[in-house]
Amino acid sequence: MPYWILTFFLGVYTLSFFYKLPSLFWLLLSIPLGFSWFLMPQNLKRYIFYALIFVCGFYWALIYTHWVTAWSLPRELESKNLLITGYIAAPPISKSRWVSFNFKTKTIAGEEKHTKLKLSWYGDSPKINAGDKWQLLVRLKRPHGMLNPGGFDVEKHLLMHHIRATGYVVNSDANQVLSSSVYNYPLSRLRQFLIQKMDQALISDPLAPLIIAFVTGFEDRITQSQWQVMRDTGTSYLVAISGLHVGLVASIVFVFAQFLWRFSSRLTLLLPAREAGIIIGLFIGLLYSAVSGLSIPTQRALVMLLMFSLVVLFRRYSKSWNAWLWSLFLVLVINPLAVLTIGFWLSFCAVAAIIYVGSGRIKQNRSRLRKFWRMQFTVTLALLPLTLLFFQQLSLVTFLANLIAMPGVCLIIIPMSLLGALCLLLIPGSIGGWILWCGAKLLGIIWWWLTFLANFFNCSWYHPIYNSWVLVATSVGVIILLAPRGFPARYLGLLYLLPLFFYEPPSPKENNEVWFTLLDVGQGLAAVVQTKNHVLLYDTGPKFFEYDAGASIIVPYLRKTGVKTINAMVVSHGDSDHSGGAISILKAHSVDMVITSVPENFIAYKANSCFAGQHWQWDGVDFQMLSPAKDASFSGNNASCVLKISSGKNSILLPGDIERAAEGSLIKNYELGLNSTILVAPHHGSATSSTDGLIAAVKPQYVIFPVGYRNRFRFPHKKVITRYMKSNAILLNASQTGAITFKFTDKSDILGANFYREEAKRFWHDR
């Protein structure tokens, strides 16, 4: 077997661990290694060969990445008006208040630049068609996302899709269509046309987004509630065009083509029916992949289908592992950045598990149903470590869900959807729409079953992989458990699974110990305070449009750090950048107590009002509410719950969005008690806050600005920065550092902060 492919894969994958993208100059260092192969003794040439293959994999990934990142937006051009020209590279995504689309540039600010941008057009935008050439006035920023433990890495996602800047269209008379030709991006035009036709055929049907996804791979219209049902039942794979879909379509076409081919004696003399069916199935699989957008998972599925088909067409006996390895090699050659995608690991590991369990073993007579359940169990167990690593949860009703969903969707719904879409393209009239309507109604029966399972059972096990050695131990245990019968001590694999269940992530271990983490939630605030046995969450981040910091950042962080219960959740005030994620957190986590200045917003959760004088102690750590006073007439920002957390000589002041009036009241009532080691800047560093009097009273060593990258308010204000610099405080910006963590006890000094952007840094991260 070509084991050297695994060495090539390791070379490609090694690049992903680099903090900084190496220079192509280092290619010259591999030349002596190549010459050494000719000079080495015969017994050492094998090792030099594998070393060369490793180096080839590494440098291929390096060259490809340098090609993708050849252009980066200069920092001095960020947030400035730029005139660009280029093409709409994919069907636009239409939302209620904006349209987003991929844009392949031809010129940027008058200079020829070929790169890909992710743009949004807010308000009333004109009709945008894939393939049209546009001139647009835009404001751009470099690829930059929020970085938190357990959170989604936006910057890696943008790199994988070759997107080198994001931004929005500025409304201007300069925005205009330059040309519209069917020869530009014809597949994207076809996809958009199909989406529009299917929309018209399935108008007002709530499951229309799923039918459209089955045909075109366009998932952006699937609602959050629909995604949640699929996550809870382990059926998200049904709408991701991958090996299952491409292989299914090719198999159905293969069966029918082979059957029809046999009716012609002349055709069978030219080419055997089996091989004709494979060729036609491969061709249709290619067309389906193209129509579905040729995403990275679809490319991978197509390569694997091609490899397995070629083995049959060339009438070669080949082990399944050989086809798997060559598929891996071709995928890495086509796009070495595929190793950064979740789908790469899930798909190749799933196929590897099936081959591992199904090859080299004594064949047993089993019914097809038993084989189906065996495959389901194999894939579920094999992907357990990766599923928990990537998604932090495992559905406990996957088997029950797939009992109906997999055969129903794969054998009925998808073929009907494809047939209906084909009829919409080729046959005038309503027959295509009628077929799609029938498919949607049948899908409704399956969807009722999935919704029932998701709502009736507590059907997800939330348990992340906390670190790499737990991942390795769990993977070894799975490999041993899936070994053939008769493998020595196979059930010892269960011992390797024990760390998965019994390992506890780091947390405060002593009384008076405090861990304070301010999360990077963009333009908003969320902070987690941990003591030995308690957890407090101060504010819940923003929510706007479909983005919810509670669901996308805070809940994954709490699970990643092993937090099961929030003992107190303080929502400082009602602004959406502080309270937006609250409901998502309350639904996902057990919360003992809600304290807020807007209890009317949380009536269903029996929230308590915050007021000056509230005081409690957890594990030797003091928590004191300083504002608002019970008789104060403050409202809005000035009514924010101001919380001080103290352990010995160290303390943290969380003032929410208070402004001058509330700051003056604090100074008057607590001037000597405001002194704090860490201060979260009031109102994100607005010029209406952080008065000289407050800074003098607090005397902070560290000041943290919870702001979004290139935020539209331009916080923190320059005057505020100057004031804090005069106090000799260390200034930290969450958008530049990622999540910030401080750890201290009543007897220790704060020696510094831990920055997650520094801790998790990779070459694709903005600095």
- pLDDT class of 767 with cuts at 50, 70, 90: confident
- pLDDT class of 377 with cuts at 50, 70, 90: confident
Report the b/e string of 208-218 with b at 16+ CB within 10 A: bbbbbbbbbbb
Q: Which of 127, 123, 130, 79 is nearest to 104 (CA)?
A: 130
Q: Which of 699, 762, 763, 765 is nearest to 735 (CA)?
A: 765
Reported as type and span, the H/E element at residue 466 is none
Residue 198 has pLDDT above 90, yes or no: yes
The neighbouring-strand residues paired with 618 are 621
pLDDT for res 16: 96
pLDDT for res 708: 96
| Count of Cβ atoms closer than 10 Å to residue 600 Cβ | 9
Reported as type and span, the H/E element at residue 611 is none
CA angle 184, 187, 190 (to 5 degrees): 105
- pLDDT class of 138 with cuts at 50, 70, 90: very high
Taking only the tens place, the pLDDT of each residue in 668-690 is 999 778 999 999 999 999 999 99
Residue 362 has pLDDT above 60, yes or no: no
pLDDT for res 747: 82
Locus of tokens 């090792």: 47
Note if the bond before 716 is cis, omega within 30 degrees: yes
Q: How far apart are CA 765 and CA 517, in angstroms?
A: 21
pLDDT for res 406: 86
Is the pLDDT higher at 478 or at 221?
A: 478
pLDDT for res 224: 86
Can you say whether residue 685 is alpha, beta or left, with left for phi > 0 and alpha for psi between -120 and 50 degrees? left
Can you say whether residue 624 is alpha, beta or left, with left for phi > 0 and alpha for psi between -120 and 50 degrees? beta
According to the 3-state scheme, what is the secondary structure of 659-721? CHHHHHHHHHHHHHHCCCCEEECHHHHCCCCCCHHHHHHHCCCEEEECCCCCCCCCCCCHHHH
In this prediction, residues 86-95 reach a mean pLDDT of 93
The dihedral sign for the CA sequence 233, 234, 238, 239: positive
Token pair listed for 454: 């998701």
Give percent of the chain above pLDDT 90: 66
Residue 405 has pLDDT above 80, yes or no: yes
In this prediction, residues 21-46 reach a mean pLDDT of 72
Do residues 482 and 356 make contact, with C-beta atoms less than 8 angstroms apart? yes
Residue 105 has pLDDT above 80, yes or no: yes
One-letter identity of residue 40: M
pLDDT for res 667: 95
Number of helices and strands in the chain (H, E): 29, 29
Report the b/e string of 652-675 with b at 16+ CB within 10 A: bbbbbbbbeebbebbbeebeeebb
Q: How far apart are CA 335 and CA 330, in angstroms?
A: 9
**Cβ neighbours of residue 173 closer than 8 Å, sequence gap 6 or more:** none
Q: How far apart are CA 740 and CA 755, in angstroms?
A: 5
Point out the least confidently predicted range of 51-55, 566-570, 600-604. 51-55
Taking only the tens place, the pLDDT of each residue in 574-625 is 999 999 999 999 999 999 999 999 999 999 999 999 999 999 999 999 999 9
In this prediction, residues 175-194 reach a mean pLDDT of 92
pLDDT for res 86: 97
Can you say whether residue 728 is alpha, beta or left, with left for phi > 0 and alpha for psi between -120 and 50 degrees? left
| Count of Cβ atoms closer than 10 Å to residue 113 Cβ | 17
- pLDDT class of 361 with cuts at 50, 70, 90: low
Residue 700 has pLDDT above 90, yes or no: yes
β-pairing verdict for 547-548 and 543-544:
antiparallel
Q: How far apart are CA 601 and CA 434, in angstroms?
A: 46
In this prediction, residues 62-89 reach a mean pLDDT of 95
Give percent of the chain above pLDDT 70: 96
Residue 495 has pLDDT above 80, yes or no: yes
Q: How far apart are CA 349 and CA 386, in angstroms?
A: 9
Taking only the tens place, the pLDDT of each residue in 213-262 is 999 988 888 988 999 899 989 888 888 877 778 888 888 899 999 989 98
- pLDDT class of 39 with cuts at 50, 70, 90: low
pLDDT for res 33: 64
Token pair listed for 616: 């409690």
Q: What is the mean pLDDT of the chain?
A: 91
DSSP states of 541-596 as a string? Answer: --EETTEEHIIIIIHHHHHHTT--EESEEEE--S-HHHHTTHHHHHHHSEES-EEE
DSSP states of 206-233 as a string? Answer: TTHHHHHHHHH---TTS-HHHHHHHHHH
Q: Give the end-to-end CA distance of the chain in Å, rounded to a whole number.
A: 43
- pLDDT class of 304 with cuts at 50, 70, 90: confident
Point out the least confidently predicted range of 68-82, 243-257, 732-746. 243-257
The torsion of the CA quartet 42, 43, 46, 48, rounded to 10 degrees, works out to: -80
Token pair listed for 187: 């597949």
CA angle 301, 307, 308 (to 5 degrees): 90
CATH number of 75-184: 2.40.50.140
In this prediction, residues 27-48 reach a mean pLDDT of 69
- pLDDT class of 656 with cuts at 50, 70, 90: very high
pLDDT for res 322: 84
Residue 546 has pLDDT above 90, yes or no: no
Taking only the tens place, the pLDDT of each residue in 165-181 is 999 999 999 999 999 98
Residue 538 has pLDDT above 80, yes or no: yes
pLDDT for res 456: 80
In this prediction, residues 195-214 reach a mean pLDDT of 92
- pLDDT class of 1 with cuts at 50, 70, 90: low
pLDDT for res 366: 63
- pLDDT class of 749 with cuts at 50, 70, 90: confident
Residue 364 has pLDDT above 70, yes or no: no
pLDDT for res 580: 96
CATH number of 514-759: 3.60.15.10
The domain segmentation of the chain, as residue ranges, is 4-68, 75-184, 468-502, 514-759
